[in-house]
A and B are shown apart, each in its own frame.
Chain A
């Protein structure tokens, strides 16, 4: 089951903050966040695991609410380089293989 992301798109000015949400109808084992720039491959940002472990980017933070099966990505003091499409990917159960991605959130940061 594909996770649902919101919003679908957001436009920011440099320095503004944004929150991207990801929710699943299934119990989550982990949530993976990626950013993709136009014409490029998705690049890893962060992993959040059930139980609180996190691994990822120094300047981007995220939360994982296991009970609500939701995750949020927080982009603070946005820079032009933050522009791109953000995807959340979810793993359910103990499987390491069924990494399913949402449809993405397109973030545009303007000067």
Chain B
């Protein structure tokens, strides 16, 4: 398997624009996570899905953030409208449901909002 695939790798956008980040999890992984990484806060869990269903979105910072998983092989994280403080690296990760299994991370999307 190619691993968790995220796109784009880098995104530069102007404040107020809509941004969509994409993720393809590893086939067969029931859990999908979205994390945001900044120097100040480290790796923050934004939301996670189990079998395409959002289970906990309490980490989503504001209503400007939304995430979907229309099928087992695709998820999006959308920010609308974007603000400079959203600048960060966003990671997607996926995991099997068993307790002794690790999460596999994608390479991340570096978002810069100017």
Write the residues of chain A forming the contact surface with B, with a CB cutoff of 8 angstroms: 2, 29-30, 32, 40-44, 47, 49, 53, 55, 87, 89, 91, 96-104
Contact = CB atoms under 8 A, between A and B. Distances in A.
A98 B44 CA distance: 11
B64 to A, nearest CB: 22
A44 B102 contact: yes
A30 B45 contact: no
Contacts of A55: 100, 102
A101 B33 CA distance: 12
Contacts, number: 62
B38 to A, nearest CB: 10
Contacts of B48: 97-99
Interface of B: 31, 33, 35, 41-43, 45, 48, 50, 55-56, 91, 93, 95, 97-108
B105 A41 contact: yes
15 contacts: A30-B100, A41-B105, A41-B108, A42-B105, A44-B104, A47-B102, A49-B99, A87-B43, A89-B103, A91-B99, A96-B98, A97-B31, A97-B33, A97-B55, A99-B103
A98 B95 CA distance: 12
Contacts of A32: 102-103
A101 B43 contact: yes
A96 B43 CA distance: 17
Contacts of B50: 96-97
Given A87-B43, A104-B42, A96 B99 contact: yes
Interface centre among B55, B95, B99 (most CB of A within 10 A): B99
A95 to B, nearest CB: 8
B103 A87 contact: no
A32 B107 CA distance: 19
A102 B42 contact: yes
**In the A-B complex, the 9 residue pairs with the closest CB atoms:** A103-B42, A41-B105, A44-B102, A101-B43, A97-B48, A42-B105, A41-B107, A96-B97, A97-B55
